[in-house]
Structures are given as C-alpha cells and as structure tokens.
A and B are shown apart, each in its own frame.
Chain A
Amino acid sequence: MVLVSAVRDYINRMLQDISGMKVLILDSHTVSIVSVGYSQSELLQKEVFLVELVDSIYKSKEPMSHLKAVYFLRPTSENIQHLRQQLASPRFGEYHLFFSNILKDTQIHNLADADEQEVVQQIQEFYADFVAIDPYHFTLNMPSNHIYMLPAVVDPSNSQHFCDRVVDGIASIFLALKRRPIIRYQRNSDIAKRIAQETAKLMYQQESGLFDFRRMEVSPLLLVIDRRDDPVTPLLNQWTYQAMVHELIGIQDNKVDLRNIGKLPKDQQEVVLSSEQDAFFKANMYENFGDIGMNIKRLVDEFQQISKSNQSIQTIEDMAKFVDKYPEYRKMHGNVSKHVTLVTEMSKIVEERKLMLVSETEQELACNGGQVAAFEAVTNLLNNESVSDIDRLRLVMLYALRYEKESPVQLMQLFNKLASRSAKYKPGLVQFVLKQAGVDKRTGDLFGNRDLLNIARNMARGLKGVENVYTQHQPLLFQTLESISKGRLRDVDYPYVGNHFQQGRPQEVVIFIVGGTTYEESRSVALQNASNSGIRFILGGSVVLNSKRFLKDLEEAQRIARSSTAVI
C-alpha cells in the first residue's frame, strides 16, 4: 500500500485546493505514474474534466479560460520548453505547476521569464517520480535500459543520463517516504557504485536541507545492486500468475495488451491487472498455474450460479433485487471474462511452445542436476523441432551460465548447434552474456555451489524432492533478503558509501536493481513482507524484465559494444 498510497496522496493534494473545472496536463512519463494509482472516474469526482499530454500536437488552439490548468510534469528541459511556449500564449484561466522532482534554479528563472501574462499561481515540487505498480514494487520505465551493461566511456552522455534518472527516482522514493537512508552497493559493479555515490552526494550534501527528516533509531537502508549478479531469473519461464502473464504476453503499467494474441471481443483486447482494484487477482497473483485454474473454475461456477438466479425473476421483489444488484453483476461478468481469457491464451501459448518440457529442463539447469544429464537434455531440446528459437537460446544461455567452466568442448558443441538451428540468432550473444555476467563477475552465490553450507543445503533438497518441479527456483534476491533480515549482509561484498555504518538490522529497506527487476523477485519481496518479520522491503528497478526484454537489452548492448572503439 505504501507506494501507491504515496502517489495517491500527492495527486489528491494537487487537486483538492483548486476549485472549479480543471484540466490535467501530463507528460509521457507522468501519465504512467498517475494512471497506475488514480482512475479516470476518481479524476471526474475531483472535477478534472480533461486530461492532455503537454506535447500533444493535436492540441486545439481554442482558449478555454473557464478551465484551470494543473500541470504535473518531470522537470526536464523539453518540458520546460513546452511550458514556456504555452505560458507565452495561455489557453487556460489559471496555471498551477507541479513537478515530480527537484527543479533547478535556472529552470524556475526560465519559466518566470516566459510568464508575461502572470497566469502561474503556484509552482511546487511533489516527489512522485516513480511508477508504483504494486504495493512494494516500483519501476522507472526507462527506455534505453541497456546502457547499464556498457562501461561509461563508451557513451558518457547517455550513461550520465541513465544515472541521473535513477538517482532522481530513488531520491523521490525517499522524499515520498520522508526518510534518509544509509546506502550500500554491490562492490564489483561500477554502475551500482556510481549511482550509490551520486545518491549519497544528493542526499547528504547538495540537498541536505530537503532530506533532513526526523531521525529514527535505526536508519533505513538503500541497497543498490546490479542485474548481472543474477542473470538467471529473467531468463527463466514463470508459472505464477502475474509473472507468467508478463513472461508470455507482457504487462505494461498494469495493463495487458491482447490485441496481437488473437481474435478477441472488443472489451477484452486490453485489460487491467491491478492488485488494488481486482480482489481475485490480489488473492491469486502469486499462485501457481495449477491452483489458478482451479480458482478460476470456482469463480466461474459462482458466477453461473448468480446469473442463473437472475434468469428466474418471478415476483416484484426479485425484480427489485435484480435491478439493485445489476452493477455488481456486470462488474463480476467483466472480471470473470478477463481472467478466463488470460488463462486460455496462456494455455494456448504453453501448448504451442511446449513450455512444460522446456521449463522442466530450465529449472533443472537453474537449481540442481549434474552436468552430463543437463547436456543431454539441452541437446535433445535443441534437436526438437517444435521448440522455438527464443527458448533454445535461453536453454543454451542457462547451460553456459551454469557450466561455463566445465567441459568447454561440449559448450562449444552447443554453441555451434544453436547457431546452425536458429536463423535469427545473433552470433556471440551467449559469449557476451558470459562476459557480462559470468562466474568471475558475480558476487552472490547464484547456483548455491560456492560455500559448503549451500552445497549441503542443495544436496538435502535434492534428496528430499521438490513439491513442484516448475517453481523450485528461488531468485538470488531471496538470499539477499534473508541476509539483511538476519543482519548478516557481508561488508566485503556490499560496502557502505562514505563513512556510514549501521548497527543491527534496519527496519525499512529499499532494494534497487540496476538493469531491471522481475515479477518473480517482487513475489519474493511480497511474500517476505507478508511473513511479518518486522522488516519492510521495497523493490524497484529501471524496468520490469521478462526474458524477451532481457535478451533485447543484451543484443542492444552487444551491438553498441561491437561498434564502439573502446575496449570492454
């Protein structure tokens, strides 16, 4: 609830003191920020009768001076330019400007210069600069996410831009929560170190007045880690509801776009999957596919009961009751169709791509199993005609990440087979992954085979057998969460910035994964929060990854790395 309610509070405060008919003007980022937390009908209740984008070229030139304009923008130079143009020839009666992050003085001066008509009534900074997709999960929706994989020298301006955006997002999280954290970062990641240091500079030096909040006994913790420490989680196929929808179809700002999937009725082409608004989804978003099937069947049965009782209208009272319950009935109908459509489409995709077969091998590669058996399994699947290209690529990558040091001959064989079978495969991509996230580059114990305790634990698990072969994988983040809960996060691997130090366990932790989070990881965080351990975790990343997006980032980074003259 924390993140979503922070955004809602900000928007409420923006709108409540301004009376009369209003128009809300957003930019392409703040549209996402506002849409996930606030609905159109709630805007209408607050008398906002028009929503526009600041750069929309369809803007009519007609002045509507009976409306008051409320702008909510990110403080970028493009937005300031648009504002200057619009203030020079104002369309609305009053202008109230709200920015989602810290304004520079030059930007304020620029705006004041352009405001000849003196239509601006207030300028405020309301720090809602992140997209709060779930109660404890946020993202920044950054477009060129792949920059984090390249060293800064390759493209210094874009790298700086990336870091700035991340620092802005993290700063706004802590301003919204009114906390100033102790900062730790992953030792062997340059970009994590850079982001941590720039954040510390912002919070403790440049804007220390703004961040000077009431100190708690134990300061909260900000941990900045790198996606490449755990490249396995985004590559795996998922079997829990929210993660599976994102992996197979794709969720963007809690919306699912089904238009390319098949022929569907008009009101099911785009649907909303939000745990705030959909009670069934909230109860089932972390359940696995089999249980979801059963629960949906139960939901459909309930619905059929209700619609049958609606058919038999005998008396006046029945009719009155029907008219009374009609809005709820309609809502339930929409909800049931939505979930049934999603599960049907996903089942179709699972069938087509033979994902049950592929995923079994993936989980074996990620969790346990010997090298020989793994090699055989992967070879068989590569030879299988019905396995798609992207699945083959993922299998070889997972094998390479796990067994990169054992039996290089067989690894070579797999590379060759992959190149020969997949037409669209960009050669060298798997080697690129190994260079970026190979065993030498990783801090954490990804496969549980580094120290004796973990090996023993794995063996015990193997002997015991697993409940569900498809969901046996735990992301590396889970181990990190446990270490933090026990206060045992190693200083050697995750040093502090500056001379901060923390005794004991923090009570609020924000983990930022540079390069993107996955829904499997947000599930771990949500389950950990629900277990009442006394610590509240919040997870965020530059994007929300699925395997397609992760592979695209890798390809982009590889392309730039190849074409640049700097040496990696």
Chain B
Amino acid sequence: MATRNRTVVYRRHRDAVKSVRAPLFSSASGSGGPVIEMASLLGSNRSSYAPLSTEDPGPSSRDAFTVGLPPSWVDDSEQVAANIQRARAKMAELVKAHAKALMPSFEDGKEDQHLIEALTQEITDILRRSEKRLQKLSASGSAEDSNVRKNVQRSLATDLQNLSVDLRRKQSTYLKRLQQQKEGPDGVDLEMNLNGNKSRLEDDEFSDVGFNEQQTVKIKKGQQEREREINQVVQSVNELAQIMKDLSVLVIDQGTIVDRIDYNIQTVAVSVDEGLKQLQKAERTQKKGGMVRCATVLVIMCFIMLVLLILKEILF
C-alpha cells in the first residue's frame, strides 16, 4: 500500500515560519525548540508496557501548557502490567517443570511436585492480586480521565483472563498426562502382584479372591495421593473460575456491537449528554428542594412573629 511522508515539507515550512516569528518573541524558544524535538524523537523507541518517562522540563516555549506527570492511576496500571509479565515468565518455568516431572526418572519426583505446586500457587497469587488492583483502578481518579481508565482496565482484564485460561489448560493437560502415567506403572504393579498371588494360591488352599495386605496398602496410598491431587485441582479450578467471573464483567465480547469503535464514541456522547441533563435536574431539584422551602417558611414565620411582637408592644 502506498503512503507518502510530508513531514519534511512540513518541518521546512515550520522552521521558516519560526525564523520569521523569532525576532518578535524571546530568542530562547528558538534555540531550545530543535533540541527538544531531537530528544523526544530519540526517546520514542520503547517496548510496550515499559514505564513512561517523565516529560522534559521544557523551556519557556512549553510553558503554555503544563507538562505534567501522568496521573497516579497510571502507576497502578503499570504495576498490573509488570505483574502480567512476571506471571508469563513464571508460566514458562511451570511448563518446563511439568515436562521434567513427566519424564521417567529414578527418584520419587517429590521435589518436582513441590516445585510445580509452588509455581502454580505463585502464579495464581499474582493473578489474584493483579485482579484486585485492577478493580481498585476504577475507583480512583478524576472523572475526566474515566474513559481512558476504563479502556486501560479492559485491556489489562483481557490479558489477565487469557493468562488464567492458559494456566488452567496447562494444568489440566499436565494432570491428564500424569494420570495416564500413573495408570501405567500401577497397572503393571498390580498385574505382577496378582500373578504372585496366583502362584501362592496354588500352594494355599484358601482361595481368597480379595487382595492381600501388601496390595491393599499400595492401593490405599495411590488413592490418597489421587485424592490430594484431585483436591488441588478442584481448589485451583475454583480460584480461577472466580477470577474469570470477575474479569468477564470487564472484558469486551468480540464481534458484538460493544466492540465497535463508532458505537463507543456514540455512547460517550450520549452519556455525557445524559450526565448534563442529570446535573441540570439535580440543580433544579436542589433549588426547589425541601431544605430551601423549609428555611423560607421559617424566615417568614420569624418575620410574622416579630411583627406580632411589635404590635403587642404598641397596643399594650
């Protein structure tokens, strides 16, 4: 697709105009201008989610509008963004830990389990904290900024939701594979023991169909472990479901009317209109409010009483 850059022509003309204007105004602005331009051009290459730089304290030419620091809620949003990055890094670690735990190994693999548990717990913690902070975001700040704030909230909420779904999916695949693996060795174990039992049965006269003690213990231990794992899964599913429910309120559904830019501009205009009407109505109600009427009545009564008092004095 074709584009055309007119910046050069523009700058040339702007500089020409400035040199005409400069002798009329203070000369400081003229020399300071190009320097600031260069600085801001150099500073414009950043990665996303990086913290904003504070604006250069410009020379007199910039005094016309206050170069301010960004409002405080931006710090909160940046924190959430940083948390999301950290959670992503931890997820990558978790994937590696899952893969390691699934590989056949000679040891018990207990510390792998611990590592996985710890990581999962950490990630869920980060997500929950970020979500709480995100909710707080809407409460603070001025009304002017509200649209920007709402949109920042939405975008971070979408990211958080995607992360949660991702985490859950990874967990469930890991567990499925783990279960498959466990079936394998246990099945073989049971089989071997059963064979052993059969051989003993031939010797023994009691045709005991049940499991012997050794197997019962093993099965019980397997069951306990599985119960523990299942409880873990249930807990994490619950937590994530809660997070998702909270976030889904904030997230936009793709493909619906709410996802259309022109619809959002329209609703802003409409709601500002409505806001104005409400304010006017409130003003009117306040004017003819009960308080004012009460006060007026009381004042009138005072006057009447005063007049009566004076009359009483005069007459008696």
A residues neighboring B (CB under 8 Å): 6, 9-10, 13, 18-21, 23, 26, 31-32, 34-35, 38-41, 43-45, 47-53, 56, 58, 60, 62-67, 89-91, 93-94, 102-103, 105, 108-109, 111-113, 115-118, 120-127, 175-178, 210, 213, 253, 255, 267, 270-272, 274, 277-278, 316, 319-320, 323-324, 326-327, 330-331, 334-335
Contact = CB atoms under 8 A, between A and B. Distances in A.
Given A64-B144, A89-B64, 18 more contacts: A26-B265, A34-B261, A35-B263, A40-B260, A41-B254, A49-B152, A51-B264, A65-B65, A89-B65, A118-B36, A120-B10, A121-B40, A123-B10, A124-B3, A176-B1, A320-B172, A320-B237, A324-B165
Interface of B: 1-7, 9-10, 13-14, 17-18, 21, 33, 36-37, 40-41, 44-48, 50, 52, 55, 61-62, 64-71, 74, 142, 144-145, 147-148, 151-152, 154-155, 158, 165, 168-169, 172, 230, 233-234, 237, 240-241, 244, 248, 252-265, 268-269, 272-273
Nearest to A176: B1
A384 to B, nearest CB: 38
A462 to B, nearest CB: 44
A108 B65 contact: no
Contacts of A40: 252, 258-261, 264
B70 A66 contact: yes
Given A41-B252, A118-B14, A323-B237, A9 B1 contact: yes
A108 B252 contact: no
A108 B6 contact: yes
Contacts of B7: 121-124
Given A35-B262, A66-B71, A124 B255 contact: no
Contact of B2 (A19, A20, A175, A334): A175
5 contacts: A10-B1, A111-B10, A123-B10, A319-B237, A323-B244
A6 B2 CA distance: 10
B158 A44 contact: yes
Contact of B151 (A49, A109, A213): A49
A113 B17 contact: yes
B154 A65 contact: no
A131 to B, nearest CB: 11
Contacts of B151: 44, 48-50
Contacts, number: 218
Contacts of A125: 3-6
B4 A105 contact: no
A277 B257 CA distance: 11
A49 B155 contact: yes
B35 to A, nearest CB: 11
Contacts of A127: 1-3
A102 B2 CA distance: 12
Among B71, B240, B256, which residue has the most Cβ atoms of chain A within 10 A?
B256
B64 A50 contact: no
A331 B253 contact: yes
Nearest to B268: A58
Given A62-B144, A324-B168, A13 B257 contact: no
Contacts of A105: 9
Contacts of A94: 40, 44
* A-B CB proximity, top 9 nearest: A66-B70, A44-B155, A112-B14, A112-B13, A49-B151, A277-B255, A35-B262, A19-B46, A125-B4
Contact of B262 (A19, A31, A102, A323): A31
Given A58-B272, A89-B65, A323-B244, A39 B259 contact: yes
A178 B129 CA distance: 50
Contacts of A176: 1-2
Contact of B10 (A38, A66, A108): A108
B17 A112 contact: yes
A44 B255 CA distance: 15
B62 to A, nearest CB: 7
B260 A255 contact: yes
A66 B253 contact: no
A28 to B, nearest CB: 9
B71 to A, nearest CB: 7
Nearest to A92: B65
Contacts of A326: 244, 248
A21 B50 CA distance: 11
B207 to A, nearest CB: 36
Given A50-B147, A108-B10, A120-B10, A43 B1 contact: no
Contacts of B67: 65, 93
B269 A178 contact: no
B206 to A, nearest CB: 38
A65 B68 contact: yes
A65 B4 contact: no
Given A19-B46, A66-B71, A117 B269 contact: no
Contacts of B71: 66
Given A31-B261, A51-B261, A63-B66, A108 B155 contact: no
Nearest to A9: B1
A65 B55 contact: yes
B262 A270 contact: no
Contacts of B68: 63, 65-66
B64 A117 contact: yes
A426 to B, nearest CB: 33
A323 B240 contact: yes
B263 A255 contact: yes
Contacts of A327: 165, 248
A122 B8 CA distance: 9
B155 to A, nearest CB: 4
A272 B262 CA distance: 12
Contacts of A48: 151
Given A270-B257, A278-B255, A117 B61 contact: yes
A127 B172 CA distance: 48
Nearest to A62: B144
A146 B152 CA distance: 44
Contacts of A52: 265
Contact of B254 (A23, A253, A331): A331
Contacts of A66: 52, 55, 68-71, 74
A32 B50 CA distance: 32
A379 B257 CA distance: 44
Contacts of B233: 316, 320
A113 B12 CA distance: 11
B29 to A, nearest CB: 9
A118 B244 contact: no
Contacts of B244: 323, 326
Nearest to A257: B257
A2 to B, nearest CB: 11
A58 B274 CA distance: 12
Contacts of B45: 19
